[in-house]
Chains A and B, each alone.
Chain A
Amino acid sequence: MIKMIRVDYRLLHGQVAVSWTSMLGADCLLLVSDTLKNDPLRMQSLQLAKPVGTKVVVKDLDGSIQALQGNITDKYHLFIICETIDLAAKVAKAAGVKSINLGNVPFAEGKKRISKSVYVDEDEESQLKELLNEGFDLYIQMVPTEKKINCRNVLN
């Protein structure tokens, strides 16, 4: 059972590991990244952020989709964290989930700020709009105690 799909380029850190996992009652985290496996130092520091008593699985996009389309993940209360909007969109479609939480999308030169922690370039913006048109619930929410912001209201 999928509790939430989130976009967060930092994948596993204080806010995610502690507040969301506990609020969602998740017992398994799936980190979706196509870059992490080639970055041993980042891999190592992420391992230190593993919450006690929670399984943490790292997979690339293909591996994630394969796992989600089988029945291997059914027994878990799964919290999926994707490194990018694009990965989250593909994972959500593969898993048949129509809701995505936007947590952290990093700033870069030329990106548009749509909330204090979400910055989008043109491709990401049009991808979000496309998802909205397909009926996705896209909401910006950093931590559980914060109010949800509907993505529709900040994209124009």
Chain B
Amino acid sequence: MQNIIIATHGDMAQGIKHTAEFIMGKQERLHALPAYTAECLDFKEKLCAMIEEFSKDGEVIILTDLFGGSVNTDAMSFLGSHENVFLIAGVNLPLVIQLLVSDGGTGVKGVIRSSIEEAREGIVFCNDLIDGADAPGSGGFDDF
């Protein structure tokens, strides 16, 4: 079983988890760590405990808010010692949804790479869509 931990500076982690579950329904294997908030002052210890627990059952994918931020740096320190822990910086909602719906067919690294691709495409300057003729979605709907 694969577990996903969202770890962020402050409450964003719970917010993303909450919104992902609003869309997808309750997700038992999705966890939130809001670092440096009252409930998570000992962030690195909490992350360590989660990694130890979940890595026994399978892969652990950690999603952090900001590459180079302290949350990500703390998470990176677990990579050398655990071969089934994977870390992605720059979490957004499309990334979380994509990871949750992936069936793992291409292996965890393949799933992560394609999910990051999808997540990047999920960031869109919508004004360009109204103005541009070749914008995604301008092709119209299909027919049978």
Contacts and interface: CB of A to CB of B under 8 A. Distances in A.
A73 B143 CA distance: 10
Interface stretch (B19-27, B46-54, B67-75): B19-27
Given A57-B142, A72-B144, A73-B144, A19 B137 contact: no
A54 to B, nearest CB: 9
B141 interface: yes
Given A18-B101, A48-B129, A50-B137, A56 B24 contact: no
B138 interface: yes
Interface residues of A, number: 25
Given A56-B141, A58-B141, A18 B97 contact: yes
Nearest to B19: A14
A122 interface: no
A142 B141 CA distance: 25
A143 B23 contact: yes
B23 A145 contact: no
Contact of B23 (A19, A47, A58, A76): A19
A51 to B, nearest CB: 10
A93 interface: no
Contacts of A50: 137, 141
**Top 8 closest A-B pairs, CB basis?**
A145-B25, A47-B137, A143-B25, A48-B137, A55-B142, A14-B23, A72-B144, A58-B141
